[in-house]
């Protein structure tokens, strides 16, 4: 349980002042916004909320629904998230994804780029492309070409761009979408928890910019400067090609092309010709005449210049705005780099890693206890109140079973089974990360449901960690909750 994490991604600032202002407006004849200079400070506002609303168990509790908080929950067993989703009231579980018009960058065999909107890519992936089958295939809809297309990805060790391939394209449903505008004019439409590669490493969008939002998802403020990695700058070892100047470049012209074509010299010319960067007799127009006088024998083979590589560079985010609810999409990328380029910006691919994490255990890349959750050795109580001991030998057998399941999963994948099919043999309590959003009232309601003596042990631990974040955010209200309602299984007002 020492791996369990609950961290704040974003939260409404001065939440107790906000609740007090909403509560005050219920009984005030004036427009309370005009009285902002006279608001009580955050601590005093909390005391007034407790005295006039919570302690008396009376009033319009809807004012507690105005402040919002979003937390990142990590390394808990899958069963916990299933419980929270079943009993949630006023909470939401989000996934990272991109808006439909986001352009994904692919690299052609010629080196050129091709950009496809992610919604169009999803349609092709889901429905296949209509093609004439090969010798052993009937005409139909296939994904073969899509799977072979070269997707631009970033080598996170060298900082240069390479290519990889699509593993999955998925629709993530309707989500709140925000637009990031960069200093160089690039834009990216994504959810708050889509991960971007920043100066501080991989961060969710909300975390990277310090996003603070209102109840309606509109942007209140961004508290942090953010620089994200973007499409590359060309880099080459040969300074001639890296620093070449436009006044050294000479066009061949129509006569040159005719001469090469009529004498069937295209292949030899392409193989042996090296551009000369100095004018002939001081006259740039003498290039064609000079070329006619050249013999193939004099066009000796020349060393090829180094191919240019693209290196990622940082660009500052200048603006964040809320666009509304939109249908969103995401990709999953094959190993080893789980990222891609969206609208010229390096972003992380989907969190759908259950399968890859399992294979990483088999290959020794991950510790099995980072992937699966098993309770520590010790005494526990079952639902009937009977006490039992979970021994070291029992735990070792359970770990062995998890390892065998990982190996069998890898075998089934190699045999061609779909991931969703092979996944059925994986132990249920794989560790899982997710994002939880709620208001102050629904947060207390969630604690009422899961922070009680007969709740699942992992749910109690989650509630303890969630309460710590609640206390950081709304200290006076959280203190009242702990003294009066915590672990008593009462439903919040």
Q: How many Cβ atoms are within 10 Å of 51's Cβ, its own excluded?
A: 11
Name which residue leads in pLDDT, 414 or 143: 414
CATH 3.30.1360.170 location in the chain? 5-96+432-484
Local confidence band at 58 (pLDDT 50, 70, 90 cut-offs): low
Would you state the structure tokens that stand for residue 449, as one six-digit string?
């449901």
Predicted local confidence at residue 272, as pLDDT: 53
pLDDT tens per residue, range 154-206: 998 888 999 999 988 887 767 789 999 999 999 999 988 788 999 888 888 98
Q: Indicate the burial class of 208 (C-beta count within 10 angstroms; 0-12, 13-18, 19 or more).
A: buried
Reported for 394-403, long-range contacts at CB under 8 A and 24+ positions apart, including other chains, are 398/374, 399/368, 399/369, 399/374, 401/427, 402/368, 402/372, 402/374, 402/427, 403/361, 403/368
312, containing H or E segment: strand 309-333
Predicted local confidence at residue 95, as pLDDT: 56
Q: Say if strands 309-333 and 227-235 run parallel, antiparallel, or are unpaired.
A: antiparallel
Would you state the structure tokens that stand for residue 240, as one six-digit string?
């001639």
pLDDT tens per residue, range 268-286: 555 555 554 444 444 444 4
pLDDT tens per residue, range 236-261: 544 433 343 444 333 445 455 555 65
Local confidence band at 34 (pLDDT 50, 70, 90 cut-offs): confident
The whole-number average pLDDT for the span 59-67 is 82
Taking 90 as the threshold, does the pLDDT of residue 46 lie above it? yes
Range with the lowest mean pLDDT among 227-241, 343-357, 393-407? Answer: 227-241
Residues contacting 240, CB < 8 A, separation 6+: 305
- Answer yes or no: pTM beyond 0.95: no
Predicted local confidence at residue 217, as pLDDT: 83
pLDDT tens per residue, range 435-454: 788 889 989 988 988 888 87
CATH 2.170.16.10 location in the chain? 98-234+310-350
Query: In the CATH hierarchy, which top-level class contains the domain 5-96+432-484?
Result: alpha beta
The whole-number average pLDDT for the span 89-98 is 61
3-state secondary structure of 418: coil
The percent of the chain in helix, strand and coil, each rounded to the nearest 5, is: 35, 30, 35
By the 8 A CB rule, do 240 and 304 touch?
A: no
| 98-234+310-350 CATH | 2.170.16.10
């Amino acid at each position: 349980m020492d791996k369990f994490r609950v961290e704040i991604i974003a939260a409404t600032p001065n939440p107790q002042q906000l609740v007090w202002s909403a509560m005050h407006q219920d009984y005030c004849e004036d427009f309370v916004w005009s009285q902002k200079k006279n608001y009580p400070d955050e601590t005093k506002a909390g005391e007034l909320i407790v005295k006039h609303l919570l302690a008396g168990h009376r009033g319009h509790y809807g004012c507690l629904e105005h402040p919002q908080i979003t937390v990142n929950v990590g390394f808990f067993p899958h069963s916990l998230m299933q419980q929270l989703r079943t009993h949630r009231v006023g909470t939401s579980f989000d996934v990272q994804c991109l808006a439909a018009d986001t352009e994904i960058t692919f690299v052609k065999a010629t080196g050129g780029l091709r950009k496809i909107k992610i919604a169009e890519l999803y349609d092709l992936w889901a429905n296949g492309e209509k093609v004439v089958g090969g010798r052993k295939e009937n005409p139909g809809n296939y994904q073969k070409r899509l799977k072979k297309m070269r997707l631009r990805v970033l080598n996170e060790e060298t900082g240069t761009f390479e290519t990889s391939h699509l593993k999955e394209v998925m629709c993530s449903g309707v989500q709140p979408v925000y637009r990031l505008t960069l200093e160089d004019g690039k834009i990216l439409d994504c959810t708050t928890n889509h991960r971007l590669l920043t100066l501080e490493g991989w961060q969710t969008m909300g975390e990277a910019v310090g996003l603070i939002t209102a109840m309606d998802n509109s942007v209140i403020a961004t508290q942090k400067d953010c620089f994200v990695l973007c499409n590359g700058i060309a880099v080459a070892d040969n300074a001639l090609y890296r620093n070449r100047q436009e006044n050294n470049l000479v066009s061949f012209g129509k006569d040159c092309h005719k001469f090469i074509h009529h004498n069937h010299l295209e292949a030899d010319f392409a193989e042996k010709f090296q551009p000369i960067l100095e004018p002939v007799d001081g006259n740039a127009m003498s290039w064609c005449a000079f070329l006619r006088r050249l013999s193939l024998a004099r066009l000796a083979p020349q060393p090829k210049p180094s191919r240019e590589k693209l290196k990622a560079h940082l660009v500052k985010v200048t603006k964040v705005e809320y666009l509304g609810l939109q249908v969103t999409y995401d990709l999953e990328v094959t190993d080893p780099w789980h990222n891609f380029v969206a609208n010229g910006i390096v972003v992380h691919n989907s969190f759908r890693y259950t399968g890859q994490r399992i294979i990483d255990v088999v290959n020794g890349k991950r510790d099995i206890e980072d992937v699966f959750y098993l309770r520590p050795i010790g005494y526990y109580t079952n639902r009937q109140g009977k006490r039992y001991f979970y021994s070291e030998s029992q735990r070792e057998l359970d770990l062995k079973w998890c390892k065998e399941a990982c190996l069998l999963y890898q075998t089934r994948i190699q045999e061609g089974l779909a991931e969703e099919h092979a996944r059925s043999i994986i132990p249920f309590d794989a560790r899982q990360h997710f994002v939880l959003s709620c208001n102050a009232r629904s947060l207390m309601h969630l604690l009422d449901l899961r922070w009680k003596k007969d709740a699942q042990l992992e749910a109690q631990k989650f509630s303890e960690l969630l309460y710590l974040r609640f206390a950081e955010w709304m200290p006076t209200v959280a203190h009242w909750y702990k003294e009066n309602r915590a672990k008593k299984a009462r439903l919040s007002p």
